[in-house]
Structure 1
């Protein structure tokens, strides 16, 4: 496992599916120059997902081989699919940029927190149940998928008490603004507040 240097830091975004964690992470990361370390998964891509942009989509055999070779920092099984973060990907990103972010569920965030301690900052992005249901319906999610995602809602939102920061994503622009200021406190990029 890669040992983080004093000036290196990892951010993990977590929260229920559909709350906007990926969007706010990417927008804040773009402002601050922080890039994502992609997870690997055995599930097929969703209609809107792109290989190398959302995940690394690999076969169950490829995943098992990588797991047997101890390439993953953490592995989780969710809804019969495997997800994992490769240690080498984290190490490469930190050597190149000094910081990185990941998007994981609460279990994955907890595993990495145990590994990296204070060098890892967990950020929960959430919305209330009613808003989340409305967003998923507007996005054209099937009733089956909505039911599956909502079955994880309480578990993901209750993780808020263990996170260093949490943001209710009601207004995207405000959430990104507040999040970017919070991340800058760790990165010391000294963004100028023009308000």
Structure 2
């Protein structure tokens, strides 16, 4: 496992599927100059997803081989698909940037918090259930997939009490603005507030 150096921070974005955590994380990360550690998954990519940008899409056999080799520091199963984070990717991204971010479900967020303790800042991004339903339909999720994700909505929402910061993503620009100001307190980049 990678040992964090002084001032290195890990920001973990979590929350229910469809809440926009990926978009919020990418926009905030870009503004603050942070690099993303991308997870590996055995699920097939959606039409809008790109290998190496959204996830590293690998076969179950490749995943099993990496897992047997101890490459993953965290593995979870969602809707019968495996997801994992490689320790070597965390180390590599820290070489590129003083702080990194990941987009994870609550189980992954919890694992990283246990591993790295107070160096992990958990950010919970959520939206109301009906908003998520609309977003999932708009992104091409099938009715079956959407209802699978929504069936876990209350459990996902309950995890927010374990997080350091909570943002309801109603208006993307406002969410990113507020979040960036919050994260800047950890990074001391002294962003200029042009309000």
**Fold shared per TM-score above 0.5:** yes
State the TM-score, normalized to the length of structure 1. Answer: 0.98
* Alignment: residue pair count: 195
**Displacement, 1:94?**
1.0
In 1, the alpha carbon distance for the partners of 2:106 and 2:79 equals: 15
In 2, the alpha carbon distance for the partners of 1:101 and 1:190 equals: 19
Residue ranges of structure 2 left out of the alignment (5+ in a row): none
Q: Residue deviations 1:49-104, cap 9 Å, x none? A: 00010000011111011101110010001111100000000011112211110000
In 1, the alpha carbon distance for the partners of 2:154 and 2:89 equals: 30
Which position in structure 1 is the counterpart of 2:27?
Answer: 27
Which position in structure 1 is the counterpart of 2:175?
Answer: 175
Question: Bigger shift: 130-139 or 50-59?
Answer: 130-139
Does the CA-based 8 Å contact 2:43-2:57 persist in structure 1?
Answer: yes
**Displacement, 1:184?**
0.6
**Displacement, 1:20?**
0.2
Which position in structure 1 is the counterpart of 2:117?
Answer: 117
Does the CA-based 8 Å contact 2:35-2:96 persist in structure 1?
Answer: no
Matched ranges for 1:62-81 at <5 A: 62-81=62-81
State the TM-score, normalized to the length of structure 2. Answer: 0.98
Residue ranges of structure 1 left out of the alignment (5+ in a row): none
1:160 pairs with 2:157: no
In 1, the alpha carbon distance for the partners of 2:95 and 2:172 equals: 31
Which position in structure 1 is the counterpart of 2:56?
Answer: 56
Which position in structure 2 is the counterpart of 1:127?
Answer: 127
Please provide the CA RMSD for this pair: 0.8
